Structure 1
Amino acid sequence: MAKVLPITQQITRENRENEKPPVNIRLEDVEDCFIYDRRGVASPFKKLYQDRKSIIIFVRNFLCYTCKEYVEDLSKIPREALEDAGIRLVVIGQSTHHHIESFCSLTGYPYEIYVDPERCIYKKLGMKREEIFTDSASPSPHVKSGVLVGHMKSMWRAMTSRAFDFQGDPHQQGGSLIVGPGSEVYFAHFDMNRLDHMPINWLLQLAGVQQTLDFSDKPKIIIV
């Protein structure tokens, strides 16, 4: 049986036919960068993917309304779907660890979450700062709020939080990886802008999760 080679290309949602050149992701460059849990305990990045395949999502900042709504949809993934496929799901932000607890409470996210407050991993992997928008970009299936309402919600959260800050660099973009076990990279996507998250079902399918989920907020019609 022929060996299936890992996918290590940057794929955008705008036009999958015009694939970009391969992204050179070297996990060796970031494996010893420290990430911090909700208690502020540090551990090396490599601990997330050494023993199993992992989907790792890097978000812009915890105050970003698009990241909030994306992570809300991540929280809907059934635990058994991940366990059956042997997949670890991890979210990484770039605020201080003090904001993790409130972000999880806000989004209902039940899986692993860490922060990279110095943006060590973001920088070394080459994730973008600032935003690039194109006319052909598809709307994110995970962002339900419009720009104005979304910004108002983000500002309100900033004003009512204990520390009035952006909970991360507001110019930093995120991305997603499918890696491990070991240092093998199967997939990489770096967001071009705040709406350029990889659709969750695509990530799950690429990682080997069999279940397809419905993230639509439209009412479900039940035929009886």
Structure 2
Amino acid sequence: MICRQQVADLTKYAKDFEDRQMQLVVIGNGAPHFIKAFREDTGYPGKIYTDPSLNTYKSLNLKRSLGSLFGLKSVKEGLRAAASGYLQTEIQGDALQQGGAIIVGPGDVLHYVYRNSEAGDHAPVEEMLAG
């Protein structure tokens, strides 16, 4: 539910990313059949991929742990997501896997990396746009 909230929030900045010639791409870890509902729930119009094997997450050294689900920020952001209507109906991927924000390109140039420390910890949009 927190992931959906984050993507819905990022969708509001789509024009800002586009103006900077940046393309948002979402990579989740749930089964592919969840993509349609995820898109509908978040309003995200861009590219969505999924990697249930978690190989992408491993190669980017993104955190995966039970402890990352129970921090103060996780609880706070979970309540915020629920209050905004993003309720957890079923687990749609590896809930222990944390995400991040990576800005690459043009070409293979890595401009920005943010690794979430816990559920609800997200890259500040201002930092991403400054990428």
Q: TM-score range by the shorter chain?
A: 0.7 to 0.9
- Which residue in 2 is equivalent to 1:168? 93
Q: State how far apart, in whole Å, the 2-side matches of 1:128 and 1:73 are.
A: 22
Q: What residue identity is the alignment partner of 2:3?
A: C
Aligned sequence identity (%): 35
4+ residue stretches of structure 1 with deviation over 4 A? 132-135, 146-150
Q: State how far apart, in whole Å, the 2-side matches of 1:148 and 1:108 are.
A: 17
Q: State the Cα distance separating 1:103 from its structure 2 match.
A: 0.4
- Which residue in 1 is equivalent to 2:32? 97
Q: Deviations over 1:49-74 (max 9, x none)?
A: xxxxxxxxxxxxxxxx2111111111
Length-normalised TM-score, structure 1? 0.50
- Determine if contact 1:95/1:167 at 8 Å carries over to the other structure: yes
SS in 2 for 1:103: helix
Q: Which has the larger radius of gyration?
A: 1
Length-normalised TM-score, structure 2? 0.82
Q: State how far apart, in whole Å, the 2-side matches of 1:176 and 1:167 are.
A: 20
- Where does structure 2 lack aligned partners over 5 or more consecutive residues? none
Q: What residue identity is the alignment partner of 2:8?
A: E
Q: State the Cα distance separating 1:95 from its structure 2 match.
A: 1.0
- Which residue in 1 is equivalent to 2:117? 192
- Which residue in 2 is equivalent to 1:204? 129
Q: What residue identity is the alignment partner of 1:119?
A: L
- Determine if contact 1:69/1:144 at 8 Å carries over to the other structure: no
Q: What residue identity is the alignment partner of 1:73?
A: D
Q: State the Cα distance separating 1:83 from its structure 2 match.
A: 3.0
Q: State the Cα distance separating 1:171 from its structure 2 match.
A: 0.7
Pick the structure with more helix per residue: 2
Q: State the Cα distance separating 1:205 from its structure 2 match.
A: 2.2
CA 1:104–1:167: 2 relative to 1, 3 Å: same
CA 1:144–1:116: 2 relative to 1, 3 Å: closer
SS in 1 for 2:111: strand
Residues 1:70 and 2:6 are matched in the alignment: yes
Q: Deviations over 1:137-164 (max 9, x none)?
A: 7x98xx47348869x921xx22xxxxxx
